[in-house]
Chain A
Amino acid sequence: MSDARTGPMIELRHVHKWFGEHHALNDVSLAVRRGERVVVCGPSGSGKSTMLRCVNRLEEHERGQILVDGIELTGDIRHVDAIRREVGMVFQQFNLFPHLTVLENLVLAPVWVRRMKRREAEELAVHYLERVHIPEQAHKYPGQLSGGQQQRVAIARALCMKPQAMLFDEPTSALDPEMIKEVLDVMVELAQSGMTMICVTHEMGFAREVADTMVFMDRGEIVETAPPKEFFAAPKSERARLFLSQILGH
C-alpha cells in the first residue's frame, strides 16, 4: 500500500461506461493529487455527472480502473463501502433527508457508519454547521430552510464523515442567483483548507479562484486538461473555445 500515501487521491484509468447504446464515458483518464482542486466543465450531457458518480459507485463503470486512495473500485462491497466513507458528495438537488432535522441529517452517518458516539457526532455536527455559517438552524427541518441554506447543510453533512475528498455535482445550479454566493463562499473556504475536490460547475469565477486544474469534457471524453490560467486564456481545442464563448457570453 505504499502508493496509497504518495500516489493520487483519485485516479481514473481508461474508464468506459455505456447507457445502453449511449457511450457516456469514453476512455476517461484523470489523476487527482491529494489537496488538488479540479473543476470539470462541459456541455450538457457530456458525461460530467456520470464520471463523478462512477467515483463513488453511484454508477458502475464497465471498463478501465478507478482507484481511490489506492483502493480499486470493484464489485467487492467492502471496497465500495471503504471508498464511500472517504469520499463525500454534494448533489445539485441537495438530497437532504426531509423527515430528519438538520442535526439528525448530520449525525446519522457518523453514528451508524463511523460508529461514533452520539455526543461526539453532535459536537462535530455543530462544528461543521458553524463552518458553513448556519449553526442556528440545527433544529429545523430541511423544508424550513432556503435553498442556499439547504445546500450548505448538505455540504456540512458530507464533511461530518471527515472525507479525504469531496465531489460536487453542480451544487449551485438549482439555486436562486442571490443564494449562489453563500454556497460558493463555503466551497472556497473548503478549498483553501486543503480539501481534495472535484467540482462540476459552470461558475467560472469560482473556477478561476480555486481550481488547480480545469477539465473540459464533451461527448463522454475528456477533451482538455489544463491549469485555469491557460485554459481561460487560450483553450487548445475548438470545442472548449466554443463552450467558453457561450458560457462567458462573448
Chain B
Amino acid sequence: MRAWAVHLAVLAALLAAGLLLPGYHTTNLARILVLATFAAGYNLAFGYTGLLSLGHAMFFAAGMYAAALPAWHWGWPAAPALLAGTAGGALMALATGALALRTAGVSFMIVTLMFAQAFALAILYFNGWTGGDEGFVIPSASRHLFGTSLAADTPRFLAAWSLFALGLLLSLALVRSRFGRVMVALRENEERARMLGINPFAAKLKVLVISGAWSGAAGAAYALLFGYAGGSFAGIQYSILPMLYVLLGGAGTTLGAVLGAGLMFYLTEFASSVTSAWLFLVGLVLVVLVLFAPKGILGWVRARLWRELP
C-alpha cells in the first residue's frame, strides 16, 4: 500500500510540475517522461532480470518506425500508430530475443549490439522508404489524439505523462507479482531458478518482449509527440541512454528510470550552458556515481533507508 501511495504521489508531483511550470519545462518534462518510459522498459530487462542488452535502440526505433511510417505513408492517426509502435517493439524483441537469449553475459551484450547495428543499417539502406539518416517529419494530421493537437505544449505533456503513468503503474504491478519474483530470481541465481522449475529461456523471452513493447511505445510516442523520426534513434547512443538513466536512478527500482532521466537531462542542460566540454562534466558525474553509489540513487536509498522500495 505504501509503495502504491508513493508512486501515485510521484505521478501527481510530475503532473503538477508539468502543468504549473513555464512552457519550456513542460516540453522538457514531456521529453523526459517519454525517455523515462523507454528506460523503465529497459529497467525491466536489465535492472530486474539482469539482461544486459546493448541493443534496446532497435526496440525504440522499431516502435518509432512502426508508428511513423504508417503515419507518413498512409496517414494513420495517432492512436493506431501508437499501438502499432508498441506491437513493433514487442515483435522486434520476440524475434531478436529468441536468438540472442541462447547466449548470456558478454555474448548477449555483443549479440544484441550486432542486431541493433544491423537494424540501424537496414533503416539507412532502405532510405527510399524510411527517409534514411535525414528522417522525415510526421504529418501534422497524424499528430492528433482525442481531437487535440499533440504539437501544443500542454496536450503533449499530458500524453507523455499518461504514457509514463501507465507504464509506471504496470511495472509496479509486474515487479510485485509472482512473475516479478521470478525475474529477480533469474538475475540473482539463474541455475537455482532452473532447479525450482522455472524455464529461464521462456521467462527471459517474456521479459524481453514486455521490455520491447515498453521501448516501442516510447519510440512511437517520441515520433508522434515531437514530430520527427530518423535513423539516429536506432544508433548505439540510444541503447546507452536508457542504461545510463537506470544506472543513475537505480537499477531494479521502479522509480529509478524517471529520476535518472530527469537528472541526466538537466545535468546535460546545465553542463552545456556553462562549458563546451559538457560531455566531460557528465562523464565525471557518472564516474563519481559508479565509485560512490554503484547501485544508483534509489539503490542507495533502498540499501540505507527503505528496504521495501520496489
Whether A associates with B in a native complex is no
Name A's B-contacting residues (CB within 8 A): none
* Chain B contact residues, CB within 8 Å of chain A: none
